[in-house]
Every structure is written in structure tokens, then in C-alpha cells.
A and B are shown apart, each in its own frame.
Chain A
């Protein structure tokens, strides 16, 4: 490994990297060594055009761009010398020559690299007296992205993204010199499945998402790390929250999962959190078949009573349990213990399949389908067959994935049962016809871990609180167990102790621990029991 010195600090860096790559991979770019850059991005090809990343390399007469200069053993680099700072200041001043002075109305303000660096490197925008370029504003590049050509600094990140990541190539730099602009062809809008990433990549406010534009000033947002629940990939997100409301998901870099990207559908799936179709009220179905709102505690007690009745009458074999592939490992482990204690063997998890691609999108439309499988909630086919042929008398169903045409196609088979307890995030067709319906929390409203398709356990934490009474799937199960007087469900539900127990009890989850999972997940050993 070559050893280089950066501002006098000696570091070992990986072989055949450029200076910026080496700093990025050693984590120093984020911590302590600041080499400002616009066109370079760790997940895109090197462009070398913004010229902001210039550094001084001993023995080279000219400044060198850190993004494209290969490291060599013994190389001495200075990132803060007067020459470097003056070159940066020059680049910044030149970038501002044509940049509109509209930070006050720009959506990017607060997370704009132009604003940040201009401040940091003291660019003096006032020296230009010339009129600025007048270009197109509010150009709808596609369904999700809006372009302001005047704000563009032509770093070409967006262009390279479309060329290299989805490889759809919708964006182009048209023209030459200072007449260059970003454009799409009239008949080729920016409409790939990953289009919104260009808004994150854009270092300035030239590309913004239609969804987020003008909704909230970014400095009012708190960032909470989370995981997208759109599919089994489990892309890492930063949840932007203000006043207990989620405004956006942005990709959180995880090289093992999603690099720095999200698919558009996943990105917009934050909307499910605050959506009007959430199940926000526990209910019982009275004799008049109208839903009677009750507290969660009442609902759990009623559910326990019905389950007790059922198992007393027909035995545990008459009950089927469908777990939710959206629930956490801890939830599912609790449910597994519940089934064991009750003697229910008919357990599974229905998963909805959707489109998948070679990038991120996985067919399984749930964040923890893999965790469910590893905890013994496999394909539900045999179990659904039992429901259909009338061998089951009751069902405890988490989520409504089972309504998918690939499974039951509708609630009828389940509503025909004597007892139907539904624990759901949404006020689904299933929840609406359940005997007992109990709301639960979204992954962004709770503690826990999710296992992605590759067996990586990732942690979620509460970013917002639901505006109604709701527990996690695990806590609902725990309380049900307690109400049924099952052994092992004593005391209050505590996710941390469940997690510790999971680690001990299930070999495939050994080592899992909420606090050990960390920012980038914990890879679980092989397949569990």
C-alpha cells in the first residue's frame, strides 16, 4: 500500500487510486481533509472538469486535480496552501459570474455546495458587472425532475449518472463553451426508474425534485437514518423530518447496499408514512358489522379472547398465522415464540412480487421478506390451501400482502373464517373486514432491524411518532401472548431484550444487537433455522 503525506499527515492508501478516491476510501474526505469538488463523485466516472479539487503535489510544477491524479508511494500533497486556496477562490469566483443571485428563493439553499464553498473560500461575486446568462428556468425534464438552467454549473454529474447508472442516457450537454446547457431530447424525457437521484447529485439548485420543491426549507429538516421499505434491497435512506412529518427520503450511502442511490418508487414510498390510508384506529366488528373504534389495549384483549375461544374449541391446528414481511426481525422472532407457545404450526408470510432490475430493485416488495424466511415464515401456499379448503377456523394476519392476486386475490377466503384478527399498517380491505383490526407502526416510527435480500441486518429507528395509538407488530404479539397467559411474555415488551434473545436463540442471527448493527448493517451468517 502506497504511503502518502497529506498536509503533513502520513497515510496508507489503497493501490491504483487517484488522490480523491484514496481520501474517500480511507474515510478522510469526510473527516479532517477537505478537498472541495463538484464534478467528482465516488460512484461516477471521473470527469475532471470543474477544476475545484486542485491540490499541490510536491515535484509537480502545476497544481493537479485530486480527482484524476494517481497516488504514488511517497507523494506529498498539500490541500491548504496559499496557491491551492487562491486557485479554489478563482474557480468559485468564475462559477459565480453567471450564477443567479437568488439563494433567497432557491430550494437548494442550505444544502448547496456553491453556497457552502463560496462562503468557505471567500469568492467575491461582486466583481462582475456583466449581465448574467439568461436561460430556461423551470424546465420539466421528466415527471419527477425540474431543471433551472441558469443555476447549472455544468459539472455533468447528472449526465454521467444517466449514462452510467441506469444507462438510459436521457441527459445531454448541448452546445459549446458558455452556451452549453443541460437538455433532454423532445421525445426522450428523463423518466428512468432512478431519475430522482440527479437531484441529490446536483451540487447546486439546478435540479430539484417536483415532490420536494418549495415544501420546506432544508434547514428546518432533521435527518434520521433509516431504511427504505419499498423492496427487499433495503436501500439506506436519510429521512428528512420536520415537526413530526416526513418530507423526503434521500439516499444514505452504503456501498454494500445501494451505493448512493435510491429508485424513484422507493424514494417516494416515504409517502406511505403520512398517508391518509393508514390504519389509525383499532376496531372491533360488532354484531351490526359496523366497525367499533376501541383502544389498542381493548382490541388486543378482544383478539386474545377470540383466539382463546378458537384454540379451545378447535385446537391450535385450526389457526393460521401469516406474518408480515414488513415487520422487523424482533417482531418476527416474537411472533415465532408466540406460535411455538401456542402450538401453531401453520405459519408463513405472503410476499408481493414486483418488477426487479439489475441495479437495486428487487422483486420482493417488502423490506424483511428474507428475515421472515430465516425466522421460519416461509411461502404461505400450503397454509392458504388450508384456508381455502376450510381446514382453518381462524387467522391472525399481519399486513395485507396476502390480498395480492398471486396469493388470495381478495379478502373473501379469510373473511369466511370464524375469526380474523388483522394487524396492519394500512386500512386495507383486509383490515376493514377483520373481527379485530389493530394498527401498527411503520419502520420509520420504531426501533428494530430488517434483513435485506442478501442477509444484511439493518437498523431502523423512530424518525416520527404516529399521531395515534399504535405499537409495533412485536409489541402487539407480546401483549397478545401476555393476555393469553403464554409463558415467556411476562412484563413489558422491550425490543432490546428481544433482540438479545434472538441473537442467542436463532443461530442465523447470532451477533445481532440493535447497537451493534451500526450505520451500514451487519451481515448475518448463512441461513437461519
Chain B
């Protein structure tokens, strides 16, 4: 499974258009880490996103795209309205990419 994280918007939105997506392939992960990521993805996908109230300024948005064969899951949330499940997934991905 390939998992891509895109970040856009925010205080530095004008620079952010150039941020490339951060991509990982679960086949390159240890089995336990791959299983943990799959669990976080499933939990985030199962939790309906919160509806932003439109009052946030400079909030960043994130799109996580998971491609597993023909099955594609796309999750999008923002700094100002984020479910705990999506936040856990985002943090896991950030920590993973920070180590790379």
C-alpha cells in the first residue's frame, strides 16, 4: 500500500504550493509498523470529519491518499477541525517522515 500525505494552505500557503507530497510504501515498513498504519487509516476513514465553521484563518489542510491495489482512500481534514483519529494518523505520518 502507498500512502501519500499532502499539506497545503496555512500561513505559508504561497510557498506551500511547491511542497511535494510525502509518500511511503508499506512494503518497506516493518510488519508491526505497517499494521499500525493500516489500523490508523481504518480508524480515520471510519470517523466522519468535523465540519469546519469557516472562521479559521491560516489553517493548514491535509490530504492523505492511501492506494492499495485498485482501492483508493482519500481523507482530507484541516488544522482547525480535525478528528482525533485523523490527528493520530497525521502524527504517525509526520513522525515517520521526520525520521527519513
Chains A and B come from one and the same complex: no
- Tell me the B residues contacting A by CB distance below 8 Å: none
